[in-house]
Structure formats: structure tokens, C-alpha cells
Amino acid sequence: MHASRIRPLRALLLKAFFGLCGSLCLTPICEAHLVVIVSHKSPVTTMTKSQVADIYLARTAQLPDGTEAIPLDQADTGANRSEFYEIVTGKSPAQLRAYWSKLIFTGSAQPPRVFNDVATIKRYIADHPNALGYIDEQELDPSVKAVLVLR
Amino acid sequence: MTLKRARFASTSLICAAAIACSASDAHAQDDPSMFALSGFGTFAATHSSLSTADFASNQFQASGAGASRNVDFEDDSKLGLQLQAHLTKKISALVQVVAREDYASRFRPTLVWANINYAFTPDFNVRVGRVEMPNFLAADYSEVGYALPWVRVPRALYNLEPVTSSDGIDASYRMHFGSVTDTIRVIAGTTTFHTPGPFRARGTGVLGLFDTIERGPLTWRVAYMHAHLQLPFGPLSSTTVYMTGVSLDMSQWFVQAEIARQTATGLSPGYIGGYATAGVRIARVTPYVTYAQAHSLDHTTAVPNMNFGERDLSAGVRWDFAKNFDLKVQYDHVSAPANSTGWFTNFGPGFHLGPSANVVTAAVDFVF
């Protein structure tokens, strides 16, 4: 009886502690954010959510610097992909599949290329100044740079 | 027996789709290949309570559910295959074939689109061949059930201009103003189509102007289309469609509405048609309601035409039960004014003007 009354309180305190830590995000144990990345060679330094959304939804084919964009997707089994689209476009995976069938079956556009692992995405982006992708903040390295942090 | 055969057909379709899905996933890596093969389909069963006429999902179908069959498996079913080839960075080709019930009640494949695209820039494209006509918001993907919120496009609007392709040339130019994308498209060509019965009609001098504005979840289109229609009988008709439609596709809900004015001198009394639809997304389930109406402009016709409009009230639910599959169940109450046949067809003995029907449809849509 006594123990069961304590447990919810402790859970609440733990939640409050980690919640605070998450919002400050000072230490690496905190939950990392997704970042939109381009090559370290790219002249692009920052992008807005709507610029990224327009590229990933094939409404524009260009990066802010005017070069032709090559957007890359993570595997659709991973959580990163659905989180990325949820934040950037506000669309669920099922909504996106319906959206893409409209574009594919009118010949308007093909969906972004899919790479199954982050190392390949980073390598491809590092080599292609007009490619862009999204990875976990913790996976950043000097070959790529973040142009947008997704919160 | 028919039911058994239909079940078998659906199972084999789904199996084929599943195999194709896994196959395309496997090589969705690295360099994009030159060819992209994709497909879509719907397996549906449609029932209509009206036994003196048929409810056909599309104006070009010769029969449907009701008088001809109690449950019709062909009314809303279709299967489409598309091959797109990226020949060079600037040149691509597209061929799409769709099998569905046709003007003679046969389940037959039709060459829907076949064109070659030249991209002068990523925002300026010119296509030659058989291209789609986006007269309405969903006109160019109206066969792709998976891309639609409903079992079928609202027929009180989409039947006003059911021709979805033109043979000729098409140019589109896309502009960007901050977060707003504006795409202007011009189509010029001719078109040939079959209406139920042995009638082959021809549209010449097809001219279409379309402007689509997109910003985030908002899409807005304004369209104008004009053509000369020649049926094997009757006068040369001049047909014009003006349309505007808006769609707001949020993560938790959507609303969409379209309105159009159609005239076809001598052939049709002319209509103002439109619909409004709204749906709510609750996890993988999306219930929706739609109201559609076509109102006659009462122009005199040279050929008998007793369709002075129709009203459709629909409610349904879409369930995204698996990746690239959905299941929909939709109920429609279809009724026509007292002087009108509506878009019912195959009138049998006992049919009266001003009919009404309750239509129930179950459909599985898939893409691969």
C-alpha cells in the first residue's frame, strides 16, 4: 500500500528531472534533435523549415543558392524518417504515401532517394555539395554541416 | 461463382502487389535507375438499392450496380501500371495503362497517358503526347484510389468533364514566391473517347489553362478548358468548363471543396456542380463526409438529355491498415430532382424520373 503510493511520485520526479534536462539539453544524455545537413563544401549555411519541406515534397528542385537539390531519405522503417516529416511537413507516413502516389502517377516527380544507413548518407552528402539529408545531432561530423535544427 | 472468382482475383492482385513492393524496396538504393515501374489498384464491391437503373461510378461505364447486378465488382475496381523512363537529365518518358470497366462493360486496359517530357529547367517542362488534363483537383489521379480520401471522386462534379487526357502538347512553368509555389500549365490538343454504346466522340481544339497555388498544407487551383465536341450524331458542340477548387490538408484533418460551371452547346443542359468534403485523422483511421451537387442551367439541347442534376450525400471511413494498402467503406445517398435521371444509367421498366438510391461500397486500394 505504502510502496504503491510512493511509486507514482518518484516517476513524476524522474520525469520532471529528465524533462528539464531535455529542454536545457546541456549534456549528451539529453535527447538529441534531428538536424538537416549539407556538405561542408556547400555555400548554404542555413535553411528554413518551409524551404526543406518544399524540397522534400518536390515543390521545388532548388537549394536556396539556386543549385539543383538532391534530397536523401532514411529508410522508412526508422523512427528518424517519420519524425523528420512530422516536424517539417506535418504529414504522417500514410499521408505522405498518399501524397507521393499523386505525384508519381501523374509523372510529376519521383520521391527522394533512400539510403539505409547514416554513414552512407553522410558520405554521399560530403561528396555532393547539392545533396541534403537529415541525421541525429549526435551523428554530426566535420564532413557535413547542420543548416537547420529540428525541435 | 462470380463471388468466388472475384475473391481469387483480389487475392492474386494483392499477392502480386506485395511481391512488387518488396522487390522495389530492395533496389531503392544508390543511383536512381533509368526506369521506374509502379502500379496502383482498387478492388471494390459496390451495391446500389435502386433496382430500376444502374449506379455507375463513372459516366463512361455502360453498366453498374443496381439493375444489372446486385453487387458489382467492376464498378469501382481498377488496376494501373506505369513505366517512367529517365532517358537523360532533361528527357523523360511516361506510359500509363489502366484496366477498368469500359463503355461496353468489359474490364479492359486503356492507354491513359503516353508522353515525352523535356525539362528546359526543373521548373519549365514541355510534354508531347497523351497528357493528363487536371480539370479538377483530383482529375489527374482520379483512378488512383490510394491517393484519394474517398472510394471514388464525387461524380456530381467529376462527371461534368470526365475526359482526363489530351493528345497534343502541354507546357508547365513553376514559380516560387517565398513559401508559395505557383504552377501554370497550358494544354493544347485533341481527344477521342467512347461513351456507352457504340459512340466514339472526338474533342478538337482542346485548350486548357490551369493555375495551381501551393503553400504548406494549402492547395488552390483555378482552371479553364474549352473544346469542340463531335459526337457521331448531333451538332458540333462547343464545351467550356470553369473551375476553382481549394484543399487544406492538415495533419489531423482535411477539408476540400471544388465548384465548376460546365456548358456543352446542344448536348448538355449545362451545370454548376461542386462538392465539399471534410475528414478527421485518428491514428490510421480517417472518417469523412462529402456533399456533392450538380445543378442544371436548363439550356436547351438538340439531343435528348434528361439529366438535370444530382445530389450525393456520402459518409465513409478509410483505414490505412498496412503499408501501401487501405480499406475504405463508403455510404452514398444519391438522389436526382423530380425532372431528372441524374447520372444513373441502363434504365429498366419501372424507372421514374427523380430516382434515389442508397449505395454502399467496400474497397481495398494499393500502390506498388
Tens of pLDDT, residue by residue over B55-76, are 999 888 889 999 999 999 999 9
**Cβ atoms within 10 A of the Cβ of A116, count?**
15
Q: What is the pLDDT of residue B11?
A: 39
CB contact under 8 A, B29 and A116: yes
Look at residue A137 and tell me whether its pLDDT is greater than 50.
yes
User: 547539392: which residue's cell?
Assistant: A130
- CA–CA separation, A27 vs B332, rounded Å? 57
Instruction: Say which residue, B333 or A9, is predicted with more confidence.
Output: B333
CB contact under 8 A, B117 and A107: yes
Q: What is the pLDDT of residue B6?
A: 43
Identify the residue among B164, B367, B368 best suited for mutation to test binding to A, counting A beta carbons within 10 A and taking the highest. B367
Bridge partners, residue B96, by sequence: B82, B113
Tens of pLDDT, residue by residue over B179-198, are 999 999 999 999 998 888 77
- CA–CA separation, B134 vs B158, rounded Å? 11
CB contact under 8 A, A107 and B94: yes
Look at residue B209 and tell me whether its pLDDT is greater than 60.
yes
> Which domains, ranges and CATH numbers included, belong to chain B?
2-367 (2.40.160.10)
Residue B294, all three cell numbers: 450538380
Q: What is the pLDDT of residue A7?
A: 52
Flag whether residue B164 sits within 8 Å of chain A, measured between CB atoms. no
Cα distance from N-terminal residue to C-terminal residue, chain B: 29
Reported as a pLDDT band with limits 50, 70 and 90, residue B157 is very high
CB pairs below 8 Å between A and B: how many? 88
Q: What is the pLDDT of residue B9?
A: 44
Contact residues, B window 80-99, toward A, CB-based 8 Å cutoff:
80, 82, 84, 92, 94, 96
The domains of chain A are located at 1-31, 32-150
Q: Are A83 and A93 in contact (CB under 8 A)?
A: no
Reported as a pLDDT band with limits 50, 70 and 90, residue A32 is confident
Least Cα distance to B364 among B105, B24, B6 occurs for B6
Look at residue B16 and tell me whether its pLDDT is greater than 50.
no
Tens of pLDDT, residue by residue over B233-276, are 778 999 999 999 999 999 999 999 999 999 999 999 999 999 99
State the complex-level ipTM: 0.87
Q: What is the pLDDT of residue A49?
A: 94
Q: Are A123 and A139 in contact (CB under 8 A)?
A: no
Say what the pTM is.
0.86
User: 528518424: which residue's cell?
Assistant: A80
- CA–CA separation, B6 vs A50, rounded Å? 46
Query: Residue B66: which H helix or E strand, with range?
Result: strand B65-66
Look at residue B313 and tell me whether its pLDDT is greater than 50.
yes
> Positive or negative CA dihedral for A37, A38, A43, A44?
negative
Average pLDDT of every residue of chain A: 84
b/e code B75-113 from CB counts within 10 Å (16+ = b): bbbbbbbbebebeeeeebbbbbbbbbbbbebeeeebebb
Instruction: Tell me whether residue A117 is exposed, middle or buried, using C-beta atoms within 10 angstroms of its C-beta: 0 to 12, 13 to 18, 19 or more.
Output: exposed
Q: What is the dihedral of CA B177, B140, B36, A100, to 10 degrees?
A: 60
CB contact under 8 A, B144 and A107: no
Q: Are B25 and B306 in contact (CB under 8 A)?
A: no
Q: Are B136 and B148 in contact (CB under 8 A)?
A: no
Nearest CA in chain A to B176: A60
Question: Is B166 in a helix, a strand, or coil?
Answer: strand
Q: Are B156 and B292 in contact (CB under 8 A)?
A: yes
Tens of pLDDT, residue by residue over B126-143, are 999 999 999 999 999 999
| The most confident of A15-24, B19-28, B331-340, by mean pLDDT | B331-340
Q: What is the pLDDT of residue B103?
A: 85
Which residues, other chains included, contact B328 with Cβ-Cβ below 8 Å and sequence gap of 6+? Answer: B145, B150, B151, B316, B317, B318, B319, B361, B362, B363, B364, B365
Look at residue B355 and tell me whether its pLDDT is greater than 70.
yes
Residue B11's φ and ψ, nearest 5 degrees, are -60, -45
- CA–CA separation, B70 vs B47, rounded Å? 6
Instruction: Say which residue, B18 or A47, is predicted with more confidence.
Output: A47
Flag whether residue B2 sits within 8 Å of chain A, measured between CB atoms. no
Tens of pLDDT, residue by residue over B288-303, are 999 999 999 999 998 8
Chain A residues with beta carbon closer than 8 angstroms to that of B365: none
Class of the domain covering A32-150: alpha beta
Tens of pLDDT, residue by residue over A96-116, are 999 999 999 998 898 999 998
User: 490510421: which residue's cell?
Assistant: B284
Nearest CA in chain B to A124: B30
Average pLDDT of every residue of chain B: 90
